[in-house]
Amino acid sequence: MKEFRKCVTNKLWLLIVSCGVLGLFIFHGERKNPFSISENTVYGETRRVLQDRRNVLKKECSQISTKQNLQGRFFPNSVTISEQDGIAWCRIGKVGTHAWSALFLLLRGVKVPEIKDAIKELKTHNLMKKFYALNPKKKIKYLRERDLFKFIVVRHPFQRLVSGYRDKLENSSEYNMRYRDEAASMVDNITRSGEQNPTFSEFVDYLIKTDSSVMDKHWAPYSEVCLPCSVNYDAVIKLETLSQDSRWIFHQLNLTTRRQDWEKVTGTDGLGVHVGPGGRGIKQTSNLAIEYFKTISKDKILKLYKKYELDFRLFDYSLSEFFK
């Protein structure tokens, strides 16, 4: 009887210890797993979205018979390469260029106040040229031979056109006087004085009739500026989902320590850099774009769509909201 009680007691202690160990394991697991699950959910979902974008791009590009020459009017001048960090970004006018320039300047040790001043004084691109001065031949060589993470940033093509028009052509100011020649080329009766400006409808007429290879970089198609069917981009970032996309890319490139300084320049969602009258934020521009397109006929909208159809297809954008 005594031995029986001793056996029961030993088994009971073993059970208690086992439960305790199991409880500690579960406790620590419950503390750790939510973070892992949360991280996997956030980045995992974004990763899937970005992979879907690459799949669409690859599918649409497979239907294009010829590849473009890597050296042209826009490319590779449109590419910024940080060879030390293994990153290449294709820069497209009116698609967050100041925000992403801020990241590349931070990578070169430029301080936040200096970057903010450069943006305010419209000298960001000059500062970029100072730190990223690779010549075109070297850029092409690096793109072909180096293991670079290559990304492109896009937005709805029509929203970009409205932003470009409002920023460079709608009104004359000291900020956009350098575009007076461009404005004068769009409408016969407009002079360089800035007393008149093309209407949005006249701007659209100009885009429809002008060969995309000779357009200004702020409204030339993405397919001309960044050659997405000739360059294998690792990620397609969209302004419409910039908050989650940028978090993923900072995580993917091990640049999370740069995030705080980047947000001091760009805001918490990366959309806080507004330069010129066309920069009012993605949501406001989206609503404004629809209003601008109400001023032109459906026939003209369709012709403009045909001009930018490849961009719509490559980056999976719809015409529907502009064609009601």
Phi, psi of 81, deg, nearest 5: -120, 125
| Residue 176 belongs to a domain | yes
The answer to whether 78 touches 227, Cβ cutoff 8 Å, is: no
Q: Which helix (H) or strand (E) holds 150?
A: strand 149-154
Residue 30 has pLDDT above 60, yes or no: no
At residue 190 the predicted structure's pLDDT band, cuts being 50, 70 and 90, is low
CA separation, residue 168 to residues 20, 172, 273, 277 (Å): 69, 8, 17, 8
How far separated are the first and last CA of the chain, in Å rounded?
Answer: 90
Domain assignment of residue 59, yes or no: no
| pLDDT above 80: residue 172 | no
List phi, psi (to 5°) of 26: -65, -40
**Percentages of the chain per state (helix, strand, coil), in multiples of 5:** 60, 5, 35
In a domain, 94, yes or no: yes
Provide, rounded to the nearest whole percent, the portion of the chain with pLDDT above 90: 63
Domain for residue 42, yes or no?
no
Q: Could you give the number of structural domains in the chain?
A: 1
Three-state DSSP class for 80?
Answer: strand
Q: What is the pLDDT of residues 66-106, one digit of tens each?
A: 667 787 889 999 999 999 999 999 999 999 999 999 999 99
What pairs with residue 89 in β-bridges? 80, 151
Check which CATH number belongs to the domain holding 146 and give it: 3.40.50
Q: Cβ(18)–Cβ(220) under 8 Å?
A: no
Residue 152 lies inside a defined structural domain of this protein: yes
Classify residue 236 as exposed, middle or buried by CB count within 10 Å of its CB (0-12, 13-18, 19+).
buried
H-helix or E-strand containing 98?
helix 97-107
Q: Domain of 166?
A: 79-322
Beta-carbon contacts of 277 under 8 Å, excluding residues fewer than 6 positions away, are: 166, 167, 170, 171, 173, 175
Q: Is the pTM of this model over 0.85?
A: no
Asked if pLDDT for residue 59 goes beyond 50, the answer is yes
Q: What is the number of other CB atoms lying within 10 angstroms of the CB of residue 185?
A: 13
In a domain? residue 154 = yes
For residue 66, being part of any structural domain is answered with no
Q: Has residue 309 been placed in a domain? A: yes
